[in-house]
Amino acid sequence: MSDARLLSVLIPAVGGQGGGVLLEWIVDAALADGLQVHGTSIPGVAQRTGSTTYYVELFTEPDSGAEPPAFSLYPVPGALDVLLAPEFLEIGRMIELGFPSPDRTTIIASTHRLYSIHEKIATGRGVYPIEDLHAAARAFSMTLYAFDALALAREHGTEANAVLLGALAGSGVLPIRVDAYRDAIRAKGVQVAANLRGFDAGLAVATQLRGPAEAGAGSSARNGTRSEPAPASAGPQTAAAADPALEQRMAEFPAELRPTLETAIARLVDYQDRRYVERYLERLRPFAGDPELARVVARHLAVWMTYEDAIRVAQLKTRASRFERIRREKGALRGEIVVTDFLKPDLDEIYGILPHRLVAPFARWAERRWPHGRPAFGQHVKTTTVLGYLRVWMLTLLRPLRPISHRAHEEHARMDQWLTALARCAGWDKALALEVARGAQLVKGYGDVRRRMRAHLDRLLASVLRAAECEGANGGGFEASRELAARYRVLVLQGPDGEARAAALAERVLTRLAAADRAGALAALAEA
Amino acid sequence: MGERSFAEDVKQLGYGAGEILRGEGILAITKALLQSGVSYVGGYPGAPVSYLIDVLADANEPLLKPLGIYFEQSGSEAAAAALLGASINYPARGAVTWKSVVGTNVASDALSHVASAGVIGGAVVVIGEDYGEGASILQERTHSTALKSSLPLLDPRNSLESFARFVEEGFGLSEACHQPVLFSIRIRACHMRGTLRCRDNARPKISMLTPLGEPSFSLERINLPPFTYQMEAQKFEKRLPAAQRYIVEHGLNEHHRGDEPDVGIVMQGGLWNTTLRGLHVLGLADTRGRTAIPLLVLNAIHPLVPDELVGFLRGKRRVLVVEEGMPNYIERELGALAHDARLDVEIHGKNVFSPHGEYVPQLVIGGLRRFLTAGGLTSRSATEIDARYAALTAHRTRVRSVLPQPVAKRPPSFCTGCPERPVFSALKILRQREPAVGDTHVAADIGCSTFSTQAPFNVGNSVLGYGMGLASSSAVAPLFGKRTVAVMGDGGFWHNGLTNGVANAMYNRQDSVLVILDNFYAAATGQHHVPSTGTNARNETVRMGIPDALRGLGVKWIRTVNSYRIAEVIRTLREALTTRVPGLKVIIARNECMLERQRREKPRVRQAIAAGAEVVQPRFGVDPDVCTGDHSCMRLNGCPSLTLRENPDPLREDPIAHVDETCVGCGVCGEVAHAAVLCPSFYEVNVIANPTRWTRFVARVRRAVIGRLAAVTA
Alpha helices (H) in A272-355, listed in sequence order? 274-284, 291-305, 310-317, 320-329, 347-352
Q: Which of B136, B643, B646 is facing A44, going by the closest CB pair?
A: B136
* B184 SS3 class: strand
DSSP result, A251-289: TTS-GGGHHHHHHHHHHHHHHS-HHHHHHHHHHHGGGTT
Closest of B628, B676, B643 to residue A445, by C-alpha = B628
Domain B13-248 matches domain B421-596 at the CATH topology level: yes
Residue A2 has pLDDT above 60, yes or no: no
Residue B274 has pLDDT above 50, yes or no: yes
Q: Which of A51, A140, A300 is facing B410, going by the closest CB pair?
A: A51
CATH number of B254-393: 3.40.50.920
Q: What is the pLDDT of residue B255?
A: 97
State how far the alpha carbon of A210 is from the alpha carbons of A151, A163, A170, A175, B552, in Å: 20, 16, 8, 16, 69
Q: What is the pLDDT of residues A3-60, one digit of tens each?
A: 458 999 999 999 888 899 999 999 999 999 989 999 998 766 666 788 889 999 999 8
B657 with B631: CB under 8 angstroms? yes
pTM above 0.90, yes or no: yes
Bond before B456 cis per omega within 30 degrees: yes
- Segment 147-166 of chain A within 8 Å of chain B by CB: 154
Domain ranges of chain B: 13-248, 254-393, 421-596, 614-713
Q: Do the chains contact at B709 and A74, CB–CB below 8 Å?
A: no
CATH number of B614-713: 3.30.70
Which residues are paired to B97 by β-bridges?
A: B43, B126
Strand A143-147 and strand B642-645: the pairing is: unpaired
Counting residues of chain A whose pLDDT is more than 90, the rounded percentage is: 78
Residue ranges matching CATH 3.40.920.10 in chain A = 3-223
**Computed over its alpha carbons, how large is the radius of gyration of chain B?**
30
Residue A229 has pLDDT above 60, yes or no: no
User: Could you count the other beta carbons within 10 Å of the beta carbon of residue A256?
Assistant: 11
CA B654 to CA A127: how far, in whole Å?
10
- Segment 100-139 of chain B within 8 Å of chain A by CB: 133-136
B395 with A98: CB under 8 angstroms? yes
* Chain A contact for B653 (CB, 8 A cutoff): yes
Classify domain A3-223 at the CATH superfamily level: Pyruvate-ferredoxin oxidoreductase, PFOR, domain III (3.40.920.10)
Here the ipTM equals 0.95
* Chain B contact for A131 (CB, 8 A cutoff): no
Q: Which of A49, A74, A92 is facing B361, going by the closest CB pair?
A: A74
Q: How confident is the model at residue A216 (pLDDT cuts 50, 70, 90)?
A: very low
Residue/partner pairs of A500-504 with CB below 8 Å, 24 or more apart: A501/A528, A502/A456, A503/A459
Residue A217 has pLDDT above 60, yes or no: no
Residue A214 has pLDDT above 70, yes or no: no
* Chain A contact for B566 (CB, 8 A cutoff): no
* A382 SS3 class: strand
Q: What is the pLDDT of residue A122?
A: 96
CA A11 to CA A5: how far, in whole Å?
20
Among chain B residues, the shortest Cα distance to A266 is held by B651
- Segment 529-558 of chain B within 8 Å of chain A by CB: none
Classify domain B421-596 at the CATH superfamily level: Thiamin diphosphate (ThDP)-binding fold, Pyr/PP domains (3.40.50.970)
The CATH class that applies to domain B13-248 reads: alpha beta
CA A432 to CA A420: how far, in whole Å?
14
Q: What is the pLDDT of residues A335-361, one digit of tens each?
A: 999 999 999 988 889 999 999 999 999
Q: What is the pLDDT of residues B475-519, one digit of tens each?
A: 999 998 899 999 999 999 999 999 999 999 999 999 999 999 999
- Segment 197-256 of chain B within 8 Å of chain A by CB: none
CA B314 to CA B226: how far, in whole Å?
43
Chain A nearest CA to B224, separation (Å): 41
Whether the CA torsion B312, B317, B323, B327 is positive or negative: it is positive
Residues A455-468, mean pLDDT to the nearest whole number: 97
Q: Do the chains contact at B396 and A385, CB–CB below 8 Å?
A: no
Which residues are paired to A1 by β-bridges?
A: none
